[in-house]
Amino acid sequence: MACPICSKPGVPAYRPFCSKRCADIDLGRWLRGDYVIPGASQDDLSSDMNGENEKNSGEGLDSRPKRP
């Protein structure tokens, strides 16, 4: 499996990365929010705090406001 950071062959110890450095780079991207997870936007937090009407629909994902 190629390292997703630098595309070099990965090593088992840091799979799928090739080194701890690349693993740290990937982790850093996660922490900084460079990776956008569809359907898990940060707006969820503020929505919960505001107590918007989406709570009424329970787990209705379709009621989530869509931001362009």
Residue (of 39, 38, 12, 37) closest to 23 by Cα position: 12
Q: Of residues 1, 6, 13, 27, which one binds Zn ion by CB under 5 A? A: 6
Per-residue tokens: 31: 């922490």
According to CB under 5 A, which one of 2, 12, 20, 22 is a site residue for Zn ion? 22
User: Residue 23, interface with Zn ion (CB under 5 A)?
Assistant: no
Please, are residues 1 and 10 in contact by the beta-carbon 8 Å criterion? Answer: yes
Residue 61 counted as an annotated binding residue: no
**3 touches Zn ion (CB under 5 A):** yes
Q: Which one of the spans 1-9, 34-42, 51-59, 60-68 is the region binding Zn ion (CB under 5 A)?
A: 1-9
Tokens of 47: 């929505």
